[in-house]
Amino acid sequence: MNFAPTRPARRPAENIVPMINVVFLLLIFFLMTAQITAPLPFDVTPPASDSEALAEGPQALHISADGQLFFDGAEDDAVWPGLAALPPDTPLMIRADAGFSAAELAAILTRLTGLGITRIALVTEGGA
């Protein structure tokens, strides 16, 4: 007679390596296809427009409602050297707040033209 307690038979361990491989492949896929952009420096509500043309360009000058400027990590008067260093014919988008004065925007456009920046697009919202 055998009085030793009998242990129930163990189920074989499930192999989770294929699941881990799939998770890593999905992670790599989403990292490679995601478009990672820097956050906007401050909230800007673009002016409304009926235009269907899209503003495009690799560089953007951000202008807040109170006139604060932001370009490529620089703020206020420090944006001008960075803008002057742009190559000729580089398109520049301006993301100005709807509350920003049109007269002040015209002065900024004049200064940009003086720096040689002639391809300028104003970012607007559709549906005026």
With respect to residue 9, please indicate whether it lies within any of the assigned structural domains: no
With respect to residue 113, please indicate whether it lies within any of the assigned structural domains: yes
- Return the CATH number at 71: 3.30.420
Weakest-pLDDT range from 52-56, 94-98, 119-123? 52-56
- The yes-or-no verdict on residue 26 having pLDDT over 90 is yes
With respect to residue 116, please indicate whether it lies within any of the assigned structural domains: yes
With respect to residue 3, please indicate whether it lies within any of the assigned structural domains: no
With respect to residue 36, please indicate whether it lies within any of the assigned structural domains: no
With respect to residue 79, please indicate whether it lies within any of the assigned structural domains: yes
> pLDDT digit string (tens) for 83-112?
899 887 888 889 989 888 989 999 999 999
Q: What is the pLDDT of residue 127?
A: 59
| The total number of structural domains that make up the chain | 1
Domain span at residue 116 reads 48-126
Closest CA to 118 of 94, 95, 92: 92
Please say whether the beta carbons of 63 and 99 come within 8 A: no
Question: What are the CA-CA distances from residue 3 to residues 7, 8, 104, 121 (Å)?
Answer: 12, 15, 96, 89
With respect to residue 108, please indicate whether it lies within any of the assigned structural domains: yes
Q: What is the pLDDT of residue 50?
A: 80
Q: What is the pLDDT of residue 23?
A: 95
Q: Is the overall model pTM greater than 0.75, yes or no?
A: no
With respect to residue 103, please indicate whether it lies within any of the assigned structural domains: yes
Rounded Cα–Cα distance for residues 123 and 7 (Å): 73
Q: Is the dihedral of CA 80, 84, 87, 91 positive or negative?
A: positive
